[in-house]
Amino acid sequence: MAASGPAQSPPLFLRRADESLSHVEDALNLVAALAIFFLMFVGVAQIIGRTVFDFAIYGYIDWIEQASSLFAFLGIAYAQRLGSHIGMDLTMSWRPSARWRIELFGVVMAIAIVTVLVYASFFNFLRAWQIGDSTMDIRLPTWPAKLMVPLALAMLWLRLALQICGYVRMIAQPGAEPVAVPKLITLESQVQDEIADVLGREQRR
């Protein structure tokens, strides 16, 4: 990234907003990870119980279905912050200024879609709450799981909004220090990382 002078310090509000939102995202991602860890043990207990002791966990399928919203959605804003969602980067050899503009366009499109999803998922939760929707087997209320979806998407909306601010700032100030946006990986840096990884494996042999 070409810069005519030293990197400009980011606005204080942008850095603080990024740090505050990151703490919440880290906590939600930890909950998602713990949910996966817990469900793994529950699954093992279910298999051992059925095969060895002829015992099954009451409402196992219903509990798994409802808990899936935890690990499926709570980490989505965390992944967006790190830029770790699966994607294809066709702009790796482009200039950073052009890539910032493409990234901004993608985030603007994403926040428009997420806005619709937050609205629709919230009314899906509200409907489940009002009619007392429950699972088929043990009549487990579905509204807590359905509430997780708009909450997680709202966190993603906030992250996308913050990234829009970050991308606009990077476009206006190309030499500034990137804040609230994923790090751009250039073709050269990717090749260097791959070479370092290969050399590291060779040295360990």
pLDDT at position 82 is 83
Q: How many CB atoms are located within 10 Å of the residue 30 CB?
A: 13
Predicted confidence (pLDDT) per residue in 160-187, tens digit: 999 999 888 888 887 777 788 877 665 4
pLDDT digits over 22-77, tens only? 899 999 999 999 988 888 888 888 888 888 887 877 877 888 888 888 888 988 89
Q: What is the torsional sign of CA 14, 29, 82, 115?
A: negative
* Average pLDDT over every residue of 77-90: 74
Q: Which amino acid is at 186?
A: T
Written as six digits, the tokens of 41 are 């043990």
With a CB cutoff of 8 Å and minimum separation 6, the contacts of 32 are 70, 71, 73, 74, 75
In angstroms, the CA 118 to CA 157 distance is 8
Tokens of 161: 């909004």
Domain boundaries, given as residue ranges, for the chain: 12-204
Which stretch of DSSP H or E encloses residue 71? Answer: helix 60-73
Instruction: Report whether pLDDT(205) > 70.
Output: no
Reference 138, options 70, 57, 43; nearest CA is: 57
pTM value is: 0.78
